[in-house]
Amino acid sequence: MWINIYICIFLIYSFIGWIYESTYCTIKDRRWDNRGFLYGPVCPIYGVGAVIVILLSHRFTDSAALQLQAWQVFLISMLGSAVLEYVTSWSLEKLFHAIWWDYSHLPFNLHGRISLFTSIGFGIGGLLIVYVLAPVSDGLLDRIPELAAQIAAFAGVVMITVDATLTVSALTSFERIIVNTSDSFDRHMENLVENVQEKVIGTKKKIGEAEQTLERLPDTIGNTGRAALRRVAEFRYNNISREKMSRILEAIKEKRPRRHK
């Protein structure tokens, strides 16, 4: 069944994308960096992009009158990746108040979500997929029995679903702590403004407790939560300074997993 083949293609290129991202960031930062949104060795955005490019190339290859030229593959990959990256970045930030990549340091970027140079790189990647990688992966998948493709596709869907559930659970738990602490801070600040003389001492104490709660986050969220949060590039909350969130994120990344005896 064709859908099983494309699920396998999605898994293959998600894994290739994870290898590329993790290798590049590990070399750049000089320390191991497990990239991607999920725990497992996959970057789904690469898998989605590859499936779209391969679907289009197959569609046009089947029609002799509509053969795609290399420059068309490049433009489709470049523009398509820009749209996919921007929408994905925007959606993740709205859902989790977090971003996994930031191109603000690059010229010709749009809100730090996409940049001209990275989009050109993905355009070149589209050429690599269509003319180099896809013929190889298509050949391998053609040799796989249908039952094996079904099993691989089913296992991949289960793995991604479980992984996504764990990741979302960790991120929402972290956000709940942040939001509750921020709301508590805001309430005590309102009390301070309403009745400065009577409540200043108690409010200072509550504010101090809220600050301590944020500082203790790296020790309270557990190994699973820390593993998900290490892959985040930055958190953005309206009521908490970016500097404070950067310190918390850095503390999370430096905190090593506890070894169980």
pLDDT exceeds cutoff 80 at 227: no
Same domain, 51 and 131: yes
If asked whether residues 212 and 189 sit together in one domain, one would say yes
Domains of the chain: total: 2
**Where a domain ends, among 107, 126, 158?**
158
Mean pLDDT value across residues 10-32: 87
> In terms of domains, do 183 and 104 share one?
no
pLDDT of 254 > 80? The answer is: no
260, part of any domain: no
Judge if 203 and 220 occupy the same domain.
yes
The overall average pLDDT reported for the chain is 78
Quick check: is 261 in a domain?
no
The reply to whether 73 and 154 lie within a common domain is yes
Given a cut of 80, whether residue 99 has pLDDT beyond it is yes
112, 128, 158 — which closes off a domain? 158
166, 61: one domain: no
Q: What DSSP letter does each residue of the chain carry, written as one string?
A: -HHHHHHHHHHHHHHHHHHHHHHHHHHHHTS----SSSSSS--HHHHHHHHHHHHHHHHHHT-GGGPPPHHHHHHHHHHHHHHHHHHHHHHHHHHHSEES---TTSSSEETTTEEHHHHHHHHHHHHHIIIIIHHHHHHHHHHS-HHHHHHHHHHHHHHHHHHHHHHHHHHHHHHHHHHHHHHHHHHHHHHHHHSHHHHHHHHHHHHHHHHHHHHTHHHHSHHHHHHHHTT-SEE-BTTB-HHHHHHHHHHHHHPPPPPP-
Q: What is the pTM of this model?
A: 0.75
Query: Are 182 and 240 found together in one domain?
Result: yes
With 60 as the cut, is the pLDDT of residue 123 above it? yes
Tell whether the model's pLDDT for residue 142 goes beyond 90. Answer: no
- Asked, for residue 51, whether it belongs to a domain, the answer is yes
Q: What percent of the chain has pLDDT over 90?
A: 31
Taking 50 as the threshold, does the pLDDT of residue 228 lie above it? yes
**Inside any domain, residue 141:** yes
| Listed range (131-140, 230-239, 248-257) with the worst mean pLDDT | 248-257
Are residue 104 and residue 219 in the same domain, yes or no? Answer: no
Domain region containing 233 = 159-254
Min mean pLDDT across 40-44, 85-89, 218-222, 234-238 is at 218-222
75, 52: one domain: yes
